[in-house]
Amino acid sequence: MTITKLSKLTLTMGVGLTLAACGADSGSTDSSKDAGGFDASQTINVISREDGSGTRGAFTEITGVLVKDGDNETDNTYSAATIQNSTSGVMTTVAGDPTSIGYISLGSLDDSVKAVNIEGIEATAETVQDNSYAIARPFNLAHNGELSEVAQDFWSYIMSAEGQEIVVGEGYVEAVTDAPAYEATDGMSGKISVVGSTSVTPVMEVLVEGYTALNPDVTIDVTSNGSSAGMTAAMDGSADIGMASRELKDEELEVLTAEPIAIDGIAVIVNTENSIEDLTMEQVKQIFTGEVTTWDEIAK
């Protein structure tokens, strides 16, 4: 009698402990979530720039999202991608959505988002300069060959040692090595119109501040509306200087004189809650063409 009761008690306790252990496991484990709590089963929200963006043009070409066949080009950006018309728009969207991914100028990167490594290489000015970071492009300025005296002076300032020091100070790689010192001309005055890339705009605004501090009678208006708009404005003369965050197209080079002012990386960014730290170029291509649509496909 005593032995039977003891056996039943032992059996009951064993079953209870087993159920408790199973209950604890089922309550604490979710295969779709990583240690940081990020749900990798979620659909990736792809954020892209608009057609005509120099950043988009450079990014899609470098990553293979853009396919070239002779004279024909096909941009295979995912049809369900969310389109943003500015660098700040991409950053704000990614910062507010844990499932999203986008791309921006490296010089605009801040701690509101996280840049992932590409092929194990962090996006920095140093890795852009030594060519180990794969996604990089020039910042170009262009004009139609008819710069005014004051616009030419501003152009010379940008390409001077002082201008290139600003470029480096803003986190970009200088395009002009051994640049000459800027020599201000007394009494310089007038107005200059600069139009184009939203990626080039932040460093351009700092260059404008530096130049106008030395030439207070000069007014420079900067309009940020995209690389293609900038090149069009420079070609038709509605702007003195156009800004492009890409190489110029053949038809643009037939009309314009262009010169790079900086080399900039393109950072692939995710939300700070995302546990992904590194992507291959092939994975970047798969995400931005819609071939891969959930984060757990990347984490495998």
Q: Is 131 in the same domain as 277?
A: yes
For residue 82, is it within any domain? yes
**Is 60 exceeded by the pLDDT of residue 161?**
yes
Reported pTM: 0.80
CA distance 100 to 119: 20
What pLDDT shows up at residue 40? 82
Neighbours of 52 (CB within 10 A): 16
Residue with token string 């079953």: 15
Residues 154 and 245 in one domain: yes
| Amino acid letter, 183 | E
**Is 102 in the same domain as 179?**
no
Asked if 221 contacts 242 with a C-beta cutoff of 8 angstroms, the reply is: no
How does residue 27 score in pLDDT terms, banded at 50, 70 and 90?
Answer: very low
pLDDT in tens, 245-286: 999 999 999 999 999 999 999 999 999 999 999 999 999 999
pLDDT tens digits for range 70-116: 878 999 999 999 999 999 999 999 999 999 999 999 999 999 999 99
Residues 244 and 172 in one domain: yes
CATH of the domain at 105: 3.40.190.10
Residue 65: pLDDT above 70?
yes
- At 37 the pLDDT is 72
Domain identity same for 109 and 167? no
Let me know whether 162 and 57 are in one domain: no
Q: Is residue 29 a part of any domain in this protein?
A: no
Q: Are 174 and 250 in a shared domain? A: yes
Residues 159 and 257 grouped into a single domain: yes
Number of independent structural domains in the chain: 2
**Crossing angle, helix 54-63 and helix 227-236, to 10 degrees?**
120
Residue of 94, 114, 103, 101 lying closest to 58 (CA atoms)? 103
27 lies in some domain: no
* Mean pLDDT, rounded, of the chain: 90
Domain that holds residue 279: 45-136+267-299
Residue 153 sits in the same domain as residue 235: yes
**Do 249 and 173 share a structural domain?**
yes
Confidence of residue 225 (pLDDT cuts 50, 70, 90): very high
